[in-house]
Structure 1
Amino acid sequence: MILVTGGTGLVGSFLLVELGRRGLPVRAIYRGQTPPVSAKTQPVEWIPGDLRDGLGLRAALEDVTHVFHCAGLVSYAPQDEEDLLRVNVEGTANVVDACLERPGIRLGYVSSVAALGGGAAAAQRELPTTEPLRIDEQGQWDLGAEHSAYATSKYLAELEVWRGVSEGLRAVVVNPSVVLGPADWHRSSTRLFRYAYDEHRFYTPSSLNLVDVRDVAEMLAQLTLDTDNNGERYVLNAGHWPLAEVLDLMASGFGKRPPSVAVPAWAAETIWRLEHVRSLLTGARPLITKDTARAGRRPLAYQTNKICQELGRGFRPLPETIRWCCQELAKQ
């Protein structure tokens, strides 16, 4: 029996598809009044639960051999800092503790490249170069650098997994970059597609590291189910691209006009400050934050030699991923 947290999220939902393809019995935790219904997977045993409910997690682990912890909160809004710690850090600690009480369980945890550190300190230095800073699984978290609340929460959550490993838990960790897939227009990375679809004119001269959600789900399943690797982390990233090129491909996939006006750094700095004031006055989520305004200024390129050598496969090309996403989103 496989237990999946975050089965209604982007990575979790495609992981359910992959597990269904393998014909494995799956139990998934959901929040809300009614269990989700999906035509993409074989029947899933949906059970109500919450990551902060330690007793509920222990009950959900009955007869379970593998746990995929995909649940998490992604936000760069300042008002979500406490929720990030509760969901990402406390929730992961509860999952680890519940697994430790059942010796033999194997855990696959979905972290983020944000937890690797390395880039934060470099981004804050004056480095007059366009050559990307290359980061792999050996990236070290810089305690003296300024990190986003999201990155900090994923770093601390990973520490909980490593604590579990030191106490006997068998676990592997994947660190995906920005995950692309057809999902809710208003959530996570799918908002990039909505931005291109709405034909906005502006873009920032920054860059992104991106990966196909299908690759993340397949590689996570392979590492957790098909290998005995333990205490290892793996960067999942299909490549590093300028934001302008990414938005152009997305707009083209919808038959829309791509953004054409680059926003200089000084303007982005002004906008996020105005948005911060607006959010304080109205309580609304800021459209752009300090972290998103500054993201990608210092090019980072996440290296994937380890996972490619381990599994003997590469990643889907970005143009293919974007075409697939646009086609699926258009159906919605």
Structure 2
Amino acid sequence: MILVTGANGFLGSYICRKLLKEQLPFIAMVRPSSDLSLLEDILEEITLHQGDILDTESFANVLEEADTIIHCAAIISYSAKDRHKMNEVNIEGTRNIVNMALASSTKYFIHISSVAALGRNTHAGQVDENNKWENSKWNTNYGESKYQAELEVWRAIMEGLDAVIINPSVILGPGDWNKSSARLFKYVWNEKPFYTSGVLNYVDVRDVADIVFKLLNKRVSGERYIVNADNIPIKDFFEKIAAAFNKKAPRIKANAFLMKLARILQGIKSLFSDSPPIITRETARIGNSKIYFDNSKIKSELNHNFVPLSDTINWTCEFYLKENLTEN
């Protein structure tokens, strides 16, 4: 039996679909207050468990049934005000789940991390799995929280847990376009005018789910894998989405002054809505970086071929148009 934490999240919901398709038994763990809209179409086919990784008693009994854990639960935010909660969930929550895994009959643990956890000490260049974390202005609070979470997993591996870490880049695909990377599609739909000079490292959500499935079969332990299809200039990425939506692409290159102004306006707007700002000090910095995350290890060791970006964009845009989500 497999336990999927954060099953109601964007990636977690696709992993649940993959497990369902492959007829692998699993338990989808969600917090009691979770929004289940991304699981709505498969709710009757899956087993849900209400638990919180910050409360070990809430999921202790489930580990008596599950011998494999796919740990997806995390908070992604580039807003400074979310740092404390993000550290609590990403670091303390991961510490809780690996400690419980060590104390139970867990035989395999897949940790969903991020390329942000690999760290960067420059705005350009190539990063692979051997990159060493260094404190740098190019790192984000989210990246640091995922790095600290990884340390918990590496510690558990040293204590005998069979575990593997995967580091996805920006995960693309249909989801709630008011959240996470899906907001990039909404940004283009709304014909926002600005783009940054950096590049986007990306991967299709179906690729990540497929790789998780491959690791479940291969049972690799003590390794990490960058999960990144390729990269593309952000301007070109926006233009491809705009073409699929038949919208006007962002056309003004944002300089330092424009980015600062945009941050201020986004911050003011967020005060009067539940939507977090898409442009923050951290996202502005990331948006001008030109880092490439090397995917050669996973391509060679898992023989994985990534979905082309054109397929991902068409699939995602068609979903939003078909579901009329663009009206929201």
Pair in the same fold by TM > 0.5: yes
Rate the CA distance shift 1:263–1:104 in 2: closer, same or farther, 3 A. Answer: closer
Tell me how far 1:264 sits from its aligned partner.
1.5
1:303 partner letter: D
1:5 aligns with 2:10: no
2:29 partner letter: I
CA distance in 1 between counterparts of 2:131 and 2:242 reads 34
TM-score by length of 1: 0.90
Aligned to 2:244: 253
Alignment of 1:137-176 (within 5 A): 137-143=129-135, 145=137, 147-176=139-168
Tell me how far 1:204 sits from its aligned partner.
1.6
Alignment of 1:1-332 (within 5 A): 1-32=1-32, 36=36, 37-40=39-42, 43-117=45-119, 119=120, 121-123=121-123, 132-143=124-135, 145=137, 147-223=139-215, 225-272=216-263, 278=268, 285-332=276-323
TM-score by length of 2: 0.91
Tell me how far 1:74 sits from its aligned partner.
0.5
1:306 partner letter: K
How big is each residue's C-alpha offset from its partner over 1:172-226, in whole Å with a ceiling of 9 and x where there is no partner?
A: 1100000001000100000000011111122122211000000001101211x11
Query: Which sections of structure 1, spanning at least 5 residues, go unmatched?
Result: 124-131
Provide the secondary structure at the position in 2 that maps to 1:3: strand
Tell me how far 1:105 sits from its aligned partner.
2.2
Provide the secondary structure at the position in 2 that maps to 1:217: helix
Rate the CA distance shift 1:205–1:33 in 2: closer, same or farther, 3 A. Answer: closer
Provide the secondary structure at the position in 2 that maps to 1:23: coil
How big is each residue's C-alpha offset from its partner over 1:25-58, in whole Å with a ceiling of 9 and x where there is no partner?
A: 1101112358845335872110111110111222
CA distance in 2 between counterparts of 1:134 and 1:41 reads 41
CA distance in 1 between counterparts of 2:176 and 2:58 reads 28
CA RMSD of aligned residues (A): 2.1
Rate the CA distance shift 1:179–1:281 in 2: closer, same or farther, 3 A. Answer: closer
Rate the CA distance shift 1:323–1:77 in 2: closer, same or farther, 3 A. Answer: same
Rate the CA distance shift 1:78–1:283 in 2: closer, same or farther, 3 A. Answer: farther
CA distance in 1 between counterparts of 2:316 and 2:137 reads 35
How big is each residue's C-alpha offset from its partner over 1:56-106, in whole Å with a ceiling of 9 and x where there is no partner?
A: 222221221211001110001111000111111111111101100124421
Rate the CA distance shift 1:54–1:274 in 2: closer, same or farther, 3 A. Answer: same
Query: Which sections of structure 2, spanning at least 5 residues, go unmatched?
Result: 324-328
- Identical counterparts, % of pairs: 38
**Preserved CA contact (<8 Å) 2:4 2:29:** yes
CA distance in 2 between counterparts of 1:26 and 1:64 reads 8
